[in-house]
Amino acid sequence: MKVLVANRGEIAIRVIRALKELGLSSAAVYSQEDKDSQHVRMADEAWCIGPAPAKESYLNIGRVLTAARLSGAQAVHPGYGFLAENDRFATSCEEAGMVFIGPKGSVMASLANKFATKEIVRKAGVPVIPGSTRALTSAGEALEETRSMGFPVLLKASFGGGGRGITLVKTPEELPRAFDMAQAESKAAFGQDGLYLEKLLHDARHVEVQVARDLKGRVEAFVERDCTIQRRNQKLLEESPSPFIDQAARAKLLEAAGRAMDACQLTTLCTVEFLLLPDTKTFYFMEINKRIQVEHPVTEELLGLDLIRLQIAIAVGEPLTTAPLALGARHAIEARINAEDPAQGFLPGEGTVLKCALPGGPGVRVDTFLTPYMTLATSYDSLVAKIIAVSPLGRPAAIAKMRGALGELLIEGIPTTTGFHQRLMEDPVFSGGRQWFNIRYLETWLPQQRFN
């Protein structure tokens, strides 16, 4: 079988490696800007799909499908981002006789509206964040809904994603203007202007569960990941397991994630996201991501799994059979290395990579597409590498391993967030793992830091 990899960067490389191990042929796609990228060289063949702007290349369904047809691919792996959760793309692949390695297009279409998805999950008995009982079309409707929940609230785009399409509203007076702005932004970004409200849970952590469901409806949920370290709703670091969840709470969380997957009738690998409250037992469903996630290596390294291979196996109809490692004291952490300058407010940067030396050793994994002397532009996402550290000796040992890996990492010519992660590893609140902090921790922590 030949698989077209409809993505770029480190995730395209990750998928191509899995295909090679399975003995499957790979076809890459690339924009003109990416013609010398590593994923192009690694694939068995590669097809140019247009100029640098994503809407003319990686987001162009027609061009990606043309490349798939010309290559003779029998399946398409979308990676994450770009077209990974585009129901029209999935359906188009199916109609062209190709296996889409992800959910069915019709199922994705039914779940595109996040408010509607919340209702499906709520009816399945999974706790959801308190919020509006209907989709909202006006500020007046939104104000009426706030009477039962109070302020502050979050206005969310019904078709939003990736941490985008979220507006904080602190008072009733702010609501009319915020609603109009959020509606306009949603229309511009997602092509839809539907909004809904959620109560702002001030002191919550962000946890998520990787769940697999095969074509026979068999479900397996894996140990949670904690994604609380965020900046502007964008994850910067993930770890597993969460230092704040015990075995009893974990069992309930994983059961709820499996129930959500069943209710949504998803047959693939997904991530169910929750907010966890300070009692460490109360959690609320946030959303379900219908694709492989950036942070999937955390689960892979923790449990000894290959989630890309599992995703492919489910797509071609194989039964769900996994043999994860016993958790024991094992702990894994992933640091996202972005081409951003923490000293300049995380301003994205570009340039030529003059030096690139990657860390190694037992328990250290690096997923990247960087190579010396390559030119990096700001046309795409700023993620350039993921450093994953795992230890069988527990969280402190995993942090020590991550600290060493970050010290070995050398990238010159472009700004990176390496210094941010090094500083975070030294933070007693984070490294201690006992003092509760929430998803807004960096809002107060970052202004206290000085980066070179």
Residues identified as active-site = 291
Tokens of 177: 């203007």
Tokens of 121: 């999950």
As a whole number of angstroms, the distance between CA 142 and CA 196 comes to 8
Q: φ, ψ for residue 245 (rounded to 5)?
A: -120, 125
As a whole number of angstroms, the distance between CA 231 and CA 161 comes to 15
SS (H, E, C) the chain: CEEEECCCHHHHHHHHHHHHHHCCEEEEEECHHHCCCHHHHHCCEEEECCCCCHHHCCCCHHHHHHHHHHHCCCEEECCCCCCCCCHHHHHHHHHCCCEECCCCHHHHHHHCCHHHHHHHHHHCCCCECCECCCCECCHHHHHHHHCCCCCCEEEEEEEEECCEEEEEECCHHHHHHHHHHHHHHHHHHHCCCCEEEEECCCCCEEEEEEEEECCCCCEEECCCEECCCEECCEECEEEECCCCCCHHHHHHHHHHHHHHHHHHCCCCEEEEEEEECCCCCCEEEEEEECCCCCCHHHHHHHHCCCHHHHHHHHHCCCCCCCCCCCCCCCEEEEEEEECEEHHHCCEECCEECCEEECCCCCCEEEEECCCCCCEECCCCCCEEEEEEEEECCCHHHHHHHHHHHHHHCEEECCCCCHHHHHHHHHCHHHHHCCCCCCCCHHHHHHHHCCCC
Tokens of 166: 């979220």
